[in-house]
Structure 1
Amino acid sequence: MKKIFKFLIIIILLLATAITVYYFVNNEKLPEGKQGKEADALATKMFKAINHEAFENTEILEWSFRNEHFYKWNKQENIVTVSWNKNKVILHTNQSEKSTVFVDDKKVENKGILKNATDFFNNDSFWLIAPYKIFDTGTERSIVNYNGKDALLITYTSGGSTPGDSYLWILDENYFPTSFKMWTSIIPLGGVSATWSDWKTTKTGIQLPTKHILSLFGLEIDMGDVKTENTKADELANKILKAINNEALEKTRFLEWSFGGRRSFKWDKEKHVVAVSWDTIRVNLHPKNRENSTVFFNNKKQENTDTTLVKKAWDIFNNDSFWLIAPHKLFDYGTIRSIRKIDNKEALLVKYTTGGTTPGDSYLWLLDSSYIPKSYKMYVPSKKMDGVPATWDDWILTESGALLPSNHTFSNGSRLSMGEVKGYN
């Protein structure tokens, strides 16, 4: 018995020694940083890299934490459904007294479960959205030289479940976060790192992590099937499409219009071939297969197609058709929709992430009481447009039943006519 006892004592001492050695070898002191304008400038670059604006406009986020806790967060309403085991809590993050607790789908009064849900949410949401919290109230930002590069140290002086924690964000050359190092009350070892590299671009345009790998014994945190939605924005977009009779446009075969009297178009939507005409030139443009396009001078077909003219026709068509049918393109592939409040009215912000000539452009649609667009503000970085306004005037009901604009007016008073707009089958 004494031998077994001695053996156990030796094992315990060896483990204690190993833990002590591991701690002193791997424990890092919290680095000292410099607060002020430089730190805030670095944080702003990080904010821009992660598209913080899209996060602010996102309505609903869904994820899980290590397949144990499950969340659906209505961010705009400050309400999150937290589920685990037999428990479900409808948590009001700003008014905890309004929260409701369910066990086996039966409503109960249980402050312990409510506190667990609050603590779970504070911790688990941090692992999802921490990069978007660097300017939260109660945060201090410092710039730190880490391995010869600028890193961003964030200290939470208040809020959450563990105020006082610090995180050093490691950024790539585009200021996008790739990992952080932690100094927290939960982990006694300072400087434990975690990856922020397995990102997913979600439906609302924000990027969120799907998992993290910790340097502490290679632990993995799985964030589950990460999703986001902008339900109210999609509802508003559908009201616009109904108001301008998008269903009729989808069934329309031919569209005709002109652009400021400078060029004209006849578009066979069924075959997706567009006759683009300007000066003495006509290009029968195949937008999806430009190599099949043909060029005419004075109605005489070129033997060898001039590809520069085809490219010019393609650019013209992308621009000029947008001024005709942009409100009908709210659900095109690569679009992100969100709601903005303008003069206490809902407006629809649409960002195009792919397609067209200048992907990345955004348009804020202002609507009348019938949800018909009356104007938009243009945000086009390539043309240095930052909220440039233009009206959508003189809507006409085409023969095919779709509503299309025939004029636009700019802030300087100039007008853009779409000519004699036609839609027919």
Structure 2
Amino acid sequence: MKKTNQFLVAFIAIITIATTGCAQKNHDEKEVSKIVGQIESAMGGRKAYDAIQTLEWNFVGRKLYWNKWTGDVRVENPKDNQVVLVNINTMKGQAFENGILITDTDKSAALLQRAKEWWINDSYWLVMPWKLKDTGVNLSYVKEDKLADGKDAIILQMTFDGVGVTPENKYWVYVEKDSKLIKQWAFYQNFNDENPAFLKPWSNYKEVAKVLFSYDRMNEKVGPTNVTANKDYEKNIFKKL
């Protein structure tokens, strides 16, 4: 009887721990979702962001044009005198080098893929806060900490399930508790890395089309610049050189 009681107590303890763990997990998920909602609201709101049709910006020497509604992207790469027009959903498009259309199918396909990868990387530096709820993104609460200026922040961790060019990466995003804005981010090359490959500010917010974007980041060599939204482009900017 004594052994039975001991077994029963142990079983109840295991169930209690498991139930508490599930409740805590659900609580954390709700809290994380609430934090993401606060971030989006502080930046102008999801409705305002979704209403932006086109974005244009510069990043590490490249110039990018992106139609968010159609998936059309134009990447100008002056370093190699290339212009690539690609739809990131269909992967159809054209690539030009030295002003000449590339007709070699293998080279053209490689440049279309390269342009998509450029877009994935370069747009992340601009719109990462709007991608926290993307399919394949795992978001979790890490802890509270201090920013470089001493202000309190909540750290969220982003990991990925088979999405992006490098799904083994992870990020920590630092959400300032007062403003509800992301003010810093850390990039880890691999999920199990203890130290980040970089820790950089996400600062200098400016309003574009009723939405706050962090760009022209002060004292940073890497970051998006010259951000423009909903510009009146030529009709074939995503179709012709």
State the TM-score bracket (shorter-chain normalisation): 0.7 to 0.9
Residue 123 to residue 417, structure 1, CA distance change in 2 (3 Å): closer
Amino acid at match of 1:281: Q
Which position in structure 2 is the counterpart of 1:390? 200
Separation in structure 2 between the aligned mates of residue 415 and residue 121 of structure 1, nearest angstrom: 57
From 378, 381, 391, the counterpart of 2:190: 381
CA drift of 1:346 comes to 2.1
Give the drift of 1:370.
Answer: 1.0
1:407 to 2:216 alignment: yes
Which structure has more RCO (C-alpha within 8 Å, separation ≥ 6)? Answer: 2
Change over 3 Å in CA distance of 1:352–1:407 after alignment to 2: farther
TM-score normalized by the length of structure 1: 0.44
Q: Percent identity?
A: 20
Q: Is the 8 A contact 2:170 2:190 kept in 1?
A: no
Tell me the CA shift for residue 309 of structure 1: 1.4
Pairing partner for 2:33 from 229, 234, 242: 234
Q: Does 1:371 align with 2:172?
A: no
Query: What is the alpha-carbon distance in structure 2 between the residues aligned to residue 324 and residue 414 of structure 1?
Result: 14
1:327 aligned residue (119, 123, 129): 129
Q: Give the residue type in structure 2 aligned to 1:415.
A: K
Q: Which amino acid is the alignment partner of residue 111 of structure 2?
A: L
CA distance in 1, matches of 2:13, 2:169: 35
Secondary structure of 1:416's aligned partner = coil
CA RMSD of aligned residues (A): 3.2
Contact 2:144 2:153 in 1 (8 A): yes
Q: Name the CA shift for 1:307/1:233 in 2 (closer, same or farther; >3 Å).
A: same
**Distance change in 2, residues 1:354/1:125 (3 Å):** farther
Residue 162 of structure 2 corresponds to which residue in structure 1? Answer: 354
Matched, 1:296 2:106: no
Q: Which residue of 2 aligns with 1:51?
A: none
State the one-letter code of the partner of 2:183. Answer: K
Maintained 8 Å contact 2:175/2:182: yes
- The equivalent of 1:285 in structure 2 is 86
* DSSP 3-state at the match of 1:296: strand
Distance between the aligned counterparts of 1:374 and 1:268, measured in 2? 27
- How far off is 1:406 after superposition? 1.2
CA contact (8 A) 1:407 1:415 kept: no
Answer 1 or 2: which has greater strand percent: 1
Matched position secondary structure for 2:222 = strand
Looking at structure 2, the residues matched to 352 and 120 of structure 1 have their Cα atoms a distance apart, in angstroms, of 35
Separation in 2 of the partners of 1:273 and 1:283? 11
Q: Is 1:342 matched with 2:148?
A: no
Q: Is the 8 A contact 2:161 2:167 kept in 1?
A: yes
Q: Contact conserved, 1:272 with 1:287, CA < 8 A, in 2? A: yes
Distance 2:9 2:29 in 1: 24
- Provide the residue aligned with 2:52 in structure 1: 252
> Aligned partners of 2:140 and 2:157: how far apart in 1?
5
Cα gap change, 1:349 to 1:376, in 2 (>3 Å): same
The CA distance in 1 between the partners of 2:28 and 2:157, in whole Å, is 14
**1:123 counterpart residue number:** 14
Cα distance in structure 2, aligned partners of 1:354 and 1:407: 31
Matched-pair contact (CA < 8 Å) for 1:360–1:380:
yes
How has the CA–CA distance of structure 1 residues 122 and 393 changed in structure 2, closer, same or farther, with 3 Å as cutoff?
same
Distance 1:228 1:361, change over 3 A: farther
Structure 1 118/258 Cα, relative in aligned 2: closer, same or farther at 3 Å? farther
Compute the displacement of 1:361 (Å).
2.1
Q: 1:10-409 counterparts in 2 under 5 A?
A: 121-124=12-15, 230-245=29-44, 246-260=46-60, 262-279=61-78, 280-290=81-91, 292-305=92-105, 306-339=108-141, 340-343=143-146, 345-368=153-176, 369-381=178-190, 386-387=195-196, 388-398=198-208, 400-408=209-217
Q: Per the alignment, in what secondary structure is the counterpart of residue 40 of structure 2?
A: helix
SS of 1:285's equivalent in the other structure is strand
User: Bigger radius of gyration, 1 or 2?
Assistant: 1
Q: 1:121 to 1:363 in 2, by over 3 A?
A: farther
Task: Give a deviation string over 1:21-44, Cα, whole Å, max 9, x none.
Answer: xxxxxxxxxxxxxxxxxxxxxxxx
Per-residue displacement from partner, 1:157-214 (whole Å, max 9, x unpaired)?
xxxxxxxxxxxxxxxxxxxxxxxxxxxxxxxxxxxxxxxxxxxxx9x9x9xxxxxxxx
> Helix, strand or coil: the match of 2:165?
coil
- Paired positions, count: 210
Tell me by how many angstroms 1:125 deviates.
5.7
Counterpart-to-counterpart distance in 2, 1:232 and 1:121: 28
- Cα offsets for 1:55-100 (capped at 9, x unmatched): xxxxxxxxxxxxxxxxxxxxxxxxxxxxxxxxxxxxxxxxxxxxxx
2:216–2:226 contact (8 Å) kept in structure 1: no
Query: Is the CA contact (8 Å cut-off) linking 2:206 and 2:213 kept in structure 1?
Result: yes
Give the whole-Å Cα distance in 2 for the aligned partners of 1:316 and 1:422. Answer: 18
1:334-373 CA-partner distances (Å, limit 9, x unpaired): 1122222214642222222231111132221112321111
